[in-house]
């Protein structure tokens, strides 16, 4: 008798904040936890942050994994799948990874098609049900690192305020 396939669960963090959008031509996006000094091109609300792994040879594509099927039949979802991909996936290059690409397309690839040497990409979504991101984040703006943003700080540069972030941009 076969086991039931668990529901797909991408890891995510729900964060209340301010989405900052600056730049001409190339847009730059950051998420601020406190009210920023910049008020133009700003969105306030509750957002869902998801994490994606870039494709090997196609870094403009990345997958937000929500289920991993191992060669020997185990199926991982959520935190367990994420930790496997980051820490032990080199032992199982043929494992299947299911998820949604950064353009919203439902996808299935093998681990060996992912480039775990490139930085993890961080995307912002309107809700947990949304599959197409609002944007790819470049920075988190928070005066201090709190447990609620610990994961996002692993993958994004943290600035104390929006002025410090703007100084790093050439807009």
**pLDDT (average), residues 104-124:** 97
Q: Give the C-alpha distances (Å, rounded to integers) separating 9 from 36, 45, 72, 80.
A: 32, 23, 20, 10
Q: Which of 23-27, 40-44, 148-152 has the lowest mean pLDDT?
A: 23-27
Residue with tokens 């480039």: 115
Per-residue pLDDT at 170: 67
- Render pLDDT for 3-39 as a digit per residue (tens, 0 to 9): 788 899 999 999 999 999 988 778 899 999 988 887 7
Q: Per the structure block, which two tokens stand in for 90?
A: 């080199």
Quote the pLDDT of residue 2. 61
Give the residue extent of every domain in the chain: 12-168
Mean pLDDT of 43-52: 96
Percent share of the chain, pLDDT over 90: 72
Task: Give the residue with greater pLDDT, 82 vs 148.
Answer: 82
The average pLDDT across 139-168 equals 89
What pLDDT score does 8 carry? 92
Largest interatomic CA distance in the chain: 60
Predicted local confidence at residue 97, as pLDDT = 98
Residue (of 147, 145, 141) closest to 161 by Cα position: 141
Q: What is the rounded distance in angstroms from the CA atom of residue 13 to the CA atom of residue 152?
A: 8
- C-alpha of 42 from chain center: 20
Give residues with Cβ within 8 angstroms of 40, minimum separation 6: none
Token readout for 37 is 């000094």
Residue 24: its pLDDT value, please?
76
Task: HSE, CB side, 13 Å, CA atoms: give it for residue 76.
Answer: 19
Residues whose CB falls within 8 Å of the CB of residue 34, separated by 6 or more in sequence, listed in order: 18, 141, 142, 143
Q: Rounded to whole angstroms, how far apart are CA atoms 109 and 41?
A: 36
Q: What is the pLDDT of residue 169?
A: 85
| 1 has a pLDDT exceeding 50 | no
């Amino acid at each position: 008798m076969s086991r039931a396939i668990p529901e797909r669960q991408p890891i995510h963090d729900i964060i209340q904040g301010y989405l900052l959008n600056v730049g001409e031509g190339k847009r730059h996006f950051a998420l601020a936890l406190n009210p920023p000094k910049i008020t133009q091109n700003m969105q306030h609300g509750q957002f869902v942050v998801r994490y994606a792994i870039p494709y090997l040879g196609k870094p403009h594509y990345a997958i937000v994994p929500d289920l991993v099927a191992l060669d020997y039949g185990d199926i991982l979802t959520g935190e367990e799948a994420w930790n496997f991909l980051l820490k032990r996936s080199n032992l199982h290059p043929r494992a299947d990874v299911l998820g949604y690409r950064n353009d919203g397309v439902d996808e299935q690839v093998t681990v060996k098609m992912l480039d775990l040497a490139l930085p993890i990409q961080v995307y912002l979504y309107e809700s947990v049900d949304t599959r197409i991101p609002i944007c790819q984040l470049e920075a988190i703006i928070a005066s201090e690192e709190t447990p609620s943003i610990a994961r996002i700080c692993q993958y994004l540069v943290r600035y104390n305020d929006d002025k410090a972030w703007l100084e790093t941009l050439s807009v």
